[in-house]
Amino acid sequence: MLVALAGATSLTVLGLLLGAGALLGLWAQARGRSGMGVHRHTVALGSGQALHVVELEGRRLVIGTGPGAAPRLLTELTTGSKDAATEAEAGR
């Protein structure tokens, strides 16, 4: 009887932990959608420099980063440039 009770307690604790983990995952996912932005793609250029495409409030932005410098907005991708970028990726 004591072993069965210990097994039931373990299952209850495991169920509570899994439920809490699932809720935490949903919360983090919802927060990510309404947070700063969504990272779409990164291209490493070498020497610690990179280009990042991020989506922020429905806008697609190209951000440049490098060592010792602040991130810099390089351009905003418009609908036309988005289609051109998609075609360029398909042509690779």
Bigger pLDDT: 21 vs 81: 21
Task: Please state the rounded mean pLDDT for residues 65-90.
Answer: 75
User: pTM value?
Assistant: 0.47
User: Which position has the token pair 């009770």?
Assistant: 5
Cα 63 to Cα 73: distance, rounded to the nearest angstrom: 5
Cα dihedral sign, 39-78-82-44: negative
> Where does the pLDDT of residue 92 fall: very low under 50, low under 70, confident under 90, or very high at 90 and above?
very low
pLDDT tens, 16-68?
A: 667 666 666 665 666 555 556 788 889 999 889 999 999 888 889 999 999 98
Bigger pLDDT: 87 vs 11: 11
Structure tokens at 7: 């097994």
Q: What is the pLDDT of residue 57?
A: 83
